[in-house]
Amino acid sequence: MTRLLIMGPPGAGKGTQAELVAKRFTVPAISTGDIFRSNIANETALGLRVKPYLGPGLYVPDELTNEVVRDRLTQADVAEGFLLDGYPRTLAQVDFLDKVLAEQGHEVDHVIVLKVDLDEVVRRLHQRAVEEGRDDDNPESIRKRQELYLEETAPLIAVYRERGLVFEVDGLGTVEEVQQRVAEAIEQPPQPH
């Protein structure tokens, strides 16, 4: 069984790597951002609740995000594992995820942290905005999300590092090169803690 988290600043390539790794290890890739954007596009009740946060580049409140994650982790296709992309993003979400997994008799196996240069991240996000027409990738939102990542998400890496679960991977290079590094990291046993 494989229960993975993939972390890194916005634009580090988490979504691309999550899809490739999920295929390689035959587990579903779960992106809270994709769930939110899909609901906004379909104008669902959830979409209406999260839209005011995503446009200006703010994080969706923990309670709302946790509700979505709990629901997704109870679905049959995650019984043998999953890869979470974009969650957890706060210490409260780490605690919530621990509780949900413990209720199922599981825990996180590996935390992959993609390391990238900030200038490269900004370049990637501008390129993605043009290619995908994403209005949440404007320069102001990019800066805001980078600041929020550093303030709120980076400390989570320390929590998982204490548990011996963090594997840092160089996120620069071709998609294939990074994917190989990620796969090699996942195949390593968690570090003793």
Catalytic residues: 14, 89, 128, 134, 145
Q: How far is CA 89 from CA 12, 33, 39, 73, 175, in A?
A: 15, 12, 20, 17, 24
Distance CA 160, CA 110 (A): 9
Distance CA 10, CA 159 (A): 20
Q: How far is CA 110 from CA 54, 92, 163, 185, in A?
A: 28, 19, 10, 9
Whether 47 contacts 39, CB under 8 Å: yes
Distance CA 78, CA 13 (A): 23
